[in-house]
Amino acid sequence: MVGFLVGLTDRRGSGYAVAGYMAIASGVIGVAMVGTLVAMYGLFALGPRARDTALDVGWINDVLAIVVYGMALPVVPALHVIVKETGTARSVVLALVGAGSLVATITLQWLLATGRLTFEAQILPVSIALLSTGAWMVATGFLARSVGFLRHGVRNGLLGMFYVGYPIWAIDLGRSLLARRSASTR
């Protein structure tokens, strides 16, 4: 982790590149994650005959969420470095919220996907974790916009907060991180 943080501040911007590529990949896989969620609800709407298939698609969605939010973890320190000039304590708190909520989401999705938690036991805590992740997306988007980094930081944070807009948030953020990396290598 220390090497990654150093990579965010070195002239090559390697930490921004890692975070950028991971965010874009997370967003691309996030399209499948959102698609499986929509498909699951569509299958449930077909009635009891489609229930087993809907549950299988839901399991795929849970696994994809683990991958997607896991790939978003490198974004947390990258955004911390970018927004820390708005107030170090504020950016540290936001980084802790971002990392903690992502790890909580990943853990809860893993517990559900492996059968260690039932859907009923998992839904409230994972909803809180996802809401916290969304709050982090919006707050860091606001601060990143204020330092001239993410022009659409708040809008995309709000989209990301509502799950179905996650791919837009991740891909746009990844592109911005790669552009920052390119600017730091000049």
Read off the pLDDT of each residue in 145-160 and give the average, rounded to a whole number: 94
CB atoms within 10 A of CB 145: 18
Question: Are the C-beta atoms of residues 161 and 154 closer than 8 Å to each other?
Answer: no
CB atoms within 10 A of CB 53: 14
Question: Are the C-beta atoms of residues 72 and 23 closer than 8 Å to each other?
Answer: yes
Please report the sign of the dihedral spanned by the C-alpha atoms of residue 136, residue 37, residue 121, residue 103: negative
Question: Are the C-beta atoms of residues 115 and 62 closer than 8 Å to each other?
Answer: no
Model pLDDT for residues 53-92, shown as the tens digit of each residue:
999 999 999 999 999 999 999 999 999 999 988 877 888 9
178: nearest Cα among 60, 3, 1, 12: 12
Give the whole-angstrom CA distance, residue 84 versus residue 149. 12
Give the whole-angstrom CA distance, residue 37 versus residue 65. 10
Model pLDDT for residues 20-48, shown as the tens digit of each residue:
999 999 999 999 999 999 999 999 999 99
Contacts of 68 (CB under 8 A, 6+ apart): 26, 29, 30, 33, 166, 170
Give the whole-angstrom CA distance, residue 1 versus residue 5. 6
- Total count of residues recorded for the chain: 186
DSSP code, position 48: G
Percentage of the chain beyond pLDDT 70 is 90
Read off the pLDDT of each residue in 117-135 and give the average, rounded to a whole number: 95
Which pLDDT belongs to residue 61? Answer: 97
Residue 8 in tokens = 């965010």
Collapse the DSSP code of 60 into the 3-class scheme (helix H, G, I; strand E, B; otherwise coil) and give the result: helix
| Mean residue pLDDT across the chain | 91
- Give the residue extent of every domain in the chain: 2-185
Question: Are the C-beta atoms of residues 14 and 7 closer than 8 Å to each other?
Answer: yes
Please give the backbone phi and psi of residue 21, each rounded to the nearest 5 degrees, phi first.
-65, -40
